[in-house]
Amino acid sequence: MNRREFASVGLGLGIQAHRLWGDAGIANPGKIDETLRSGIARRKIPAAVGMAATAGKTLYTGAFGERDSQGTPVTADGVFAIASMTKAVTTVAALQLVEQGKVTLDEPVAKHLPQLEKLDVLDGFDAAGKPILRPAKTPITLKHLLTHTSGLCYDTWDGNMFRHASQAGVAAPAGTAGPLMFEPGARWQYGQGCDWAGRLVEKISGMSLEDYFQARILGPLEMHDTSYILPASKFDRMVTGWTRDNGSPLKQNARALPAPPKTFNGGGGLYSTAADYTKFMQMILRKGRGPNGGPKDAVILQPKTVESMAINQIGELTAGKMRSSRPNSSSDVDIQPGATEKWGLGFLINTTAYQGGRAAGSLAWAGLYNTFYWIDPKNGLCAVLLMQFLPFVDKEAVGMLGDFERAVYASLKG
């Protein structure tokens, strides 16, 4: 039996909006409800929680489906593993250090992380299958790390990295980097950049990422359900993950309280809720300001820094298209087929509008377990859709995201 929880509440931020939907409401929340309710039934998705908001108020919240195979209904405050949605938080942390003058975007990051000095570039494989390596000519910068142009790639979406990592005895030991799949700055390829940006934050700040995030970002934004550590007190709200192997029906993973991590990864690992991540997105819409009256009137980033996050930082390169080497973890990724995407600092940027959805210049990314968000500065709107299954960008997850997005925009009233 599915249960839906709906709420539409103002956050009382007193913000004077100057955008199309600054004073918007949802004219027909029932349409969004039905989109999610029917979508999970038709697409056989275990659970979905969606939320949409302006910079100053929540417009829609809906939770449908089941927390686990025992039939426990998912609730609007369900806790999800958000995987690479962590990257945007890490990017904000790194940019705070840039604002403080403790690091620059363009200096060699090996100044702080010697592991990233004197790396090799993989130039393919010889006839015997042995890696062909040469020294990199270009030093890696923080900008490279935050824009996925460093050459430090995930093997899931880079064929050469997958081949290299699959060869016995050639994988880099823990705590080391490389090889690079290309000269830094030469192309865009999703990868480990934010993992290393997280290590940079820890090195410069002298704090763990968990402690830094809580003190400088999550606490000031009152994101009390977001952490690398899921306490036992929140286990009942945790949404269990599911996996689809080789196209088979989804099977539930073992339901257990996750053990606290021994280290914290800037590229993934946070747990969060739709409401918490919406607070983070609202901060971006407010050009770096936290909630009025929060701890309090917090300034997370300066407006010019937030603006830099929304500007193309990769020139003529194209982002958002990836061929998967691990189909049970991820399908092939093409965020907007037929269109060109760019990358700012921390966010994918769509150069053309989505039909019936977000405007051109919107910011977005996702997490491996099919958690998605977008921030539409032109329309003053942000939204998040959380699911919890593999593979990433499974066709049913992508279909649900598109249906949810179109329903949100179709239901807006100015």
Specify the pLDDT at position 414. Answer: 56
Say if 211 falls within a structural domain.
Answer: yes
pLDDT band for position 101 (cuts 50, 70, 90) = very high
pLDDT band for position 170 (cuts 50, 70, 90) = low
pLDDT band for position 22 (cuts 50, 70, 90) = very low
Average pLDDT for 180-206: 97
Specify the pLDDT at position 18. Answer: 29
Specify the pLDDT at position 188. Answer: 97
Say if 191 falls within a structural domain.
Answer: yes
pLDDT at 395 over 70: yes
Say if 288 falls within a structural domain.
Answer: yes
Say if 41 falls within a structural domain.
Answer: no
pLDDT at 378 over 90: yes
H/E run at residue 401: helix 395-410
Q: pTM of the entire structure? A: 0.92
Could you report the per-residue pLDDT of 382-392, keeping only the tens digit for each?
Answer: 999 999 999 99
Give the C-alpha distances (Å, rounded to integers) separating 202 from 32, 167, 271, 288: 41, 31, 19, 22
Sequence-distant (6+) residues with CB within 8 A of 38 are none
pLDDT at 150 over 90: yes
pLDDT at 411 over 70: yes
Between these two residues, 11 and 280, which has the higher pLDDT value? 280
pLDDT at 273 over 60: yes
Identify the active-site residue in 57, 60, 87, 212: 87
pLDDT band for position 280 (cuts 50, 70, 90) = very high
Closest among 313, 19, 301 to 147, alpha carbons compared: 313
Average pLDDT, the chain: 91
**Strand-pair partners of 364:** 348, 374
Say if 256 falls within a structural domain.
Answer: no
Specify the pLDDT at position 20. Answer: 38
Specify the pLDDT at position 287. Answer: 96
Could you report the per-residue pLDDT of 63-78, keeping only the tens digit for each?
Answer: 999 999 999 999 999 9
**Strand-pair partners of 376:** 381
Q: What percent of the chain has pLDDT over 70?
A: 91
Contact 312, 342 (CB under 8 A): yes
The three-state (H, E, C) secondary structure of 22-69, written as one string: CCCEECCHHHHHHHHHHHHHHHCCCEEEEEEECCCEEEEEEEEEECCC
Catalytic residue check, 190: yes
pLDDT band for position 13 (cuts 50, 70, 90) = very low
Specify the pLDDT at position 21. Answer: 39
Average pLDDT for 11-17: 26
Say if 29 falls within a structural domain.
Answer: no
Report the alpha-carbon distance of residue 348 to residue 309 in Å, rounded. 10
pLDDT at 177 over 60: yes
pLDDT band for position 247 (cuts 50, 70, 90) = confident
Specify the pLDDT at position 3. Answer: 33
Specify the pLDDT at position 159. Answer: 87
Between these two residues, 371 and 166, which has the higher pLDDT value? 371
pLDDT at 2 over 50: no
Number of H helices, E strands in the chain: 9, 19
Say if 5 falls within a structural domain.
Answer: no
Question: Looking at this protein, which amino acid is placed at residue 337?
Answer: P
The domain of 140 spans 83-228+264-349+360-365
Average pLDDT for 93-101: 98
Specify the pLDDT at position 295. Answer: 56
Say if 147 falls within a structural domain.
Answer: yes
Identify the active-site residue in 190, 212, 228, 354: 190
CATH code for the domain in which residue 198 is found: 3.40.710.10
pLDDT band for position 257 (cuts 50, 70, 90) = very high
pLDDT band for position 123 (cuts 50, 70, 90) = very high
Could you report the per-residue pLDDT of 294-316, keeping only the tens digit for each?
Answer: 555 689 999 999 999 999 999 99
Domain count across the chain? 1
pLDDT at 293 over 90: no
pLDDT at 6 over 70: no
| Other CB atoms within 10 Å distance of the CB of residue 166 | 11
Between these two residues, 348 and 298, which has the higher pLDDT value? 348
Which of 139-143, 233-237, 242-246 comes out lowest in average pLDDT?
242-246
Specify the pLDDT at position 7. Answer: 31
pLDDT at 5 over 50: no
Report the alpha-carbon distance of residue 66 to residue 69 in Å, rounded. 7
Sequence-distant (6+) residues with CB within 8 A of 74 are 3, 47, 48, 49, 63, 64, 65, 66, 67, 239
Identify the active-site residue in 84, 227, 272, 362: 84
